[in-house]
């Protein structure tokens, strides 16, 4: 019985006892007045409800669940429906128990999803000994040691050792990440193999894990519109139904007492005041608001928790709701749809020169530079280059490099450098950045370098369209050709090229104006320099946020890793959650409405009423818990 807590076990015991004594009362010979027989099970199961009700009345608070249940069952008792009164109370308590169990369970499973809090850190003291202590107490700059199997407690840089980290806790993906000296590691990841020595770069409160936890824990503060609707509805619903109950009992009773039997209206003929009381009691049971109120936040809580498991952090139910309605999705190209890393996509040597040779000349000439383009050249060469082949490098700012490679004079750079070198270049049909090369003063060819689309970008866009996104827009600072090629390649229907950061804000604002109906606009950025647009859009989505603090701050939805397909997963979760919420609202209101109508016509028993209250709550909760289970595939 580990699944129940102490209070719940106690309640379970009461339920069994009450059920047993109720059965005894039903089969016992009528030695006593039935009221006495049924008082025992009623007391066992209902004393706390009665007590709370009494306490609330004394403090002038009516319309609370306890009061309504107490009034309804006591009323049933007085009209001689003893067994029914006990049954109703029993069923109510079973429902309440189940409710608290289900809520506990979903709280626990979300806590388990988010169980990425590191318990301790191995602090290395100046004398080389290790002290295990609380991560919150460790200062920036301290050295910590991470053993295999342990969770990274604080963000830091590897000083010694190499290992593979499991980032699943943060990103939801089991892809291991290799780290070596100089690499940054993020708290929350698990060290798979080697021993690592880290230098702490952030205090615990600013570390990735603390920020992620804070974000998820506070997501319930931003309430969704459905949640606000349902609490507002409950506020008026209960008093209205209680007043209706009072009227349902009082008006017929007064008429029955005042009018002579012959002149009664048709609906009163042959009825007694106790039958009207019974109908009123049905109303009271149905008027409890909790079933409605609980199922909505529970669904959003589940959806946000389930998303968290996939490395998608959603900052509130309102954003989940807005995400479900996105019909315009705007991407800031670099870092979202493309890798944001330059790679060599083509090598066009002139006649008489080998492609490999051209690439090596360029890479060697640029070998002293850290520029992304130089890096891409080196990566394309693969393996280690013998840097000693290159002597006498001379960097020409904004143009390129001149160097001596293998004893030959080589110039590597853009078209302006070529003008300076007085060689004519050939145009290229491919989009991207061109790196021209001359050898001994003659044009040797060019290398095309461009940003590559992410592997799942095209599939992600298709999945987004399937989930109801009508307009996919790509914004970029790149040239027209690069943008149009990329857009065609990815199946994006609209792009705006050569934009400065402020143009992106303006562009997004224009599109916000063009929204129609209930559709919302989402902006997806990599969190670098796009905070203004992220905040301006209805839903701001930042990708690849592991370690990018600004993105976590500015966005409404944060993807820990950088796969665009996660946006489609997020949308699927949002749509599912919103659908569950809608089902619950319609179902709960529908059942309550039907029972109210039937109750007024004396067609619904107290049984039906209890079902409409706790039964519906239980079903709604079970439905809400579906939101927690997430299909990771979009």
Partner 1 sequence: MKKRFQLTNLDCANCAAKMERAIQKLDGVHEATVSFMTQKLTLDADDDRFEEILKKAEEAIHKVDPDCAIRR
Q: Which residues are part of the catalytic machinery?
A: 332
Q: How far is the CB of 583 from partner 1 (least distance, A)?
A: 18
A 10 A CB-CB count for 553 gives 16
Q: How far is the CB of 221 from partner 1 (least distance, A)?
A: 5
In the bound complex, what is the minimum distance in angstroms from residue 231's beta carbon to partner 1? 4
Q: Say if CB 150 and CB 141 are below 8 A apart.
A: no
Nearer CB in complex with partner 1: 4/78: 4
The greatest distance separating any two alpha carbons of the chain, rounded to the nearest whole angstrom, comes to 124
Instruction: Classify strands 121-124 and 312-314 as parallel, antiparallel or unpaired.
Output: unpaired
CB of 609 to partner 1, least distance (A): 18
| Tokens found for residue 317 | 């139910």
Query: Least CB distance from residue 103 to partner 1, whole Å?
Result: 7
Asked whether 393 and 402 are in contact (CB, 8 A), the reply is yes
Nearer CB in complex with partner 1: 221/370: 221
Q: Which is nearer to partner 1, 314 or 548 (CB)?
A: 314
Q: What is d(CA 330, CA 501) in angstroms, rounded to the nearest whole number?
A: 14
- Tell me the closest approach of the beta carbon of residue 537 to partner 1, in angstroms: 23
Rounded to whole angstroms, the Cα distance separating 547 from 536 reads 23
Nearest to 87 by CA among 617, 605, 601: 605
Residues that bind partner 1 (CB under 8 A): 55, 59, 61, 64-65, 100, 103, 106-107, 217-218, 220-221, 223, 231, 234-235, 289-290, 293-294, 297-298, 301
**Distance between CA atoms of 189 and 195, rounded to whole angstroms?**
14
For partner 1, the closer of residues 115 and 217 by Cβ is 217
Tokens of 146: 């991470």
Q: CB of 298: closest distance to partner 1 in angstroms?
A: 6
Residue with tokens 């997806």: 524
Best CA proximity match to 280, nearest among 68, 473, 471:
68
Shorter beta-carbon distance to partner 1: residue 106 or 328: 106
The answer to whether the CB of 302 falls within 8 A of the CB of 581 is no
Shortest distance (Å) from residue 107 CB to partner 1: 7
Torsional class of 461: left (φ above 0), alpha (ψ -120 to 50), beta (otherwise): alpha
Rounded to the nearest angstrom, the gap between the alpha carbon of residue 301 and the centroid of all alpha carbons in its chain is 9
Pair 446, 426: CB distance under 8 Å: yes
Alpha-carbon distance of 172 to 367, in angstroms, equals 38
C-beta neighbour count of 272 within 10 angstroms: 13
DSSP, collapsed to helix, strand or coil, labels residue 65 as helix
Report how far residue 47's alpha carbon sits from residue 470's, in angstroms, rounded to the nearest whole number: 58
Is the CB of 220 or the CB of 489 nearer to partner 1? 220
Paired tokens of 565: 């397909």
Taking the least distance from each CB to partner 1, the nearer of 188 and 297 is 297
- H or E element that contains 160: strand 156-160
Segment (H or E) for 338:
strand 338-349
Find the Cα–Cα–Cα–Cα dihedral 144, 149, 152, 156, rounded to 10°. 50
- Sequence-distant (6+) residues with CB within 8 A of 513 are none
- Indicate the residue among 59 and 518 with the shorter CB distance to partner 1: 59
Q: Least distance to partner 1 from the beta carbon of 304, Å?
A: 10
Question: How far apart (Å, rounded) are the C-alpha atoms in residues 26 and 511?
Answer: 70
Instruction: Identify which of residues 289 and 306 has a Cβ nearer to partner 1 in the complex.
Output: 289
């Amino acid at each position: 019985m580990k699944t129940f807590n102490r209070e719940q076990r106690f309640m379970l015991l009461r339920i069994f006892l009450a059920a047993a004594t109720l059965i005894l009362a039903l089969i016992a010979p009528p030695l006593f007045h039935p009221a006495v027989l049924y008082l025992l099970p009623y007391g066992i199961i209902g004393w706390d409800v009665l007590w709370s009700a009494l306490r609330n009345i004394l403090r002038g608070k009516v319309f609370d669940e306890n009061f309504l249940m107490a009034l309804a069952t006591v009323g049933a008792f007085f009209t001689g429906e003893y067994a029914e009164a006990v049954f109703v109370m029993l069923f109510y308590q079973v429902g309440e128990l189940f409710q608290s169990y289900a809520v506990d369970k979903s709280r626990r499973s979300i806590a388990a999803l988010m169980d990425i809090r590191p318990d301790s850190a191995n602090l290395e003291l100046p004398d080389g000994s290790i002290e295990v202590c609380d991560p919150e107490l460790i200062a920036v700059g301290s050295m910590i040691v991470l053993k295999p199997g342990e969770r990274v407690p604080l963000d830091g840089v590897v000083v010694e050792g190499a290992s593979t980290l499991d980032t699943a806790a943060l990103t939801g993906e089991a892809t291991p990440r290799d780290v070596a000296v100089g690499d940054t590691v993020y708290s929350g990841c698990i060290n798979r193999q080697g021993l690592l020595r880290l230098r702490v770069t952030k205090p615990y409160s600013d570390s990735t894990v603390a920020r992620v936890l804070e974000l998820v824990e506070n997501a319930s503060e931003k309430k969704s519109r459905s949640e606000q609707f349902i609490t507002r509805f409950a506020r008026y619903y209960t008093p209205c139904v209680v007043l209706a109950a009072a009227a349902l009992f009082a008006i017929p009773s007064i008429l029955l007492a005042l009018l002579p039997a012959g002149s009664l209206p048709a609906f009163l003929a042959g009825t007694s005041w106790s039958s009207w009381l019974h109908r009123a009691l049905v109303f009271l049971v149905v008027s409890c608001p909790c079933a409605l109120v609980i199922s909505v936040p529970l669904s959003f809580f589940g959806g946000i928790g389930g998303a968290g498991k996939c490395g998608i952090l959603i900052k509130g139910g309102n954003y989940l709701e807005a995400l479900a309605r996105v019909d315009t999705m705007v991407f800031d190209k670099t870092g979202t749809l493309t890798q944001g890393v330059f790679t060599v996509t083509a090598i066009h040597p002139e006649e008489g020169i080998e492609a490999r040779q051209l690439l090596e000349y360029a890479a060697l000439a640029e070998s002293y530079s850290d520029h992304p383009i130089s890096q891409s050249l080196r990566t394309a060469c693969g393996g280690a280059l013998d840097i000693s082949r290159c002597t006498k490098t001379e960097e020409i700012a904004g143009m390129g490099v001149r160097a001596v490679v293998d004893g030959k004079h080589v110039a590597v750079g853009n078209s302006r450098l070529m003008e300076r070198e007085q060689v004519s270049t050939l145009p290229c049909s491919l989009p991207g950045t061109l790196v021209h090369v001359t050898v001994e003063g003659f044009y040797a060819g060019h290398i095309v370098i461009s940003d590559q689309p992410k592997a799942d970008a095209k599939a992600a866009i298709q999945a987004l369209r399937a989930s109801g996104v009508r307009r996919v827009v790509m914004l970029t600072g790149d040239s027209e050709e690069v943008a149009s090629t990329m857009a065609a390649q990815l199946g994006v229907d609209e792009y705006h090229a050569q934009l400065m950061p402020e143009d992106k804000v303006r562009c997004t604002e224009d599109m916000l104006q063009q929204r129609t109906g209930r559709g919302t606009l989402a902006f997806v950025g990599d969190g670098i320099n796009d905070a203004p647009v992220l905040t301006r859009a209805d839903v701001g989505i930042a990708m690849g946020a592991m370690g990018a603090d600004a993105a976590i701050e500015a966005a409404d939805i944060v993807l820990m890793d950088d796969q665009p397909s996660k946006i489609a997963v997020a949308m699927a979760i949002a749509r599912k959650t919103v659908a569950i919420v809608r089902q619950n609202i319609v179902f709960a209101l529908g059942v309550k409405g039907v029972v109210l109508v039937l109750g007024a016509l004396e067609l619904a028993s107290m049984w039906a009423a209890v079902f409409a209250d706790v039964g519906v709550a239980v079903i709604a909760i079970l439905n809400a818990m579906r939101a927690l289970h997430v299909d990771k595939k979009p």
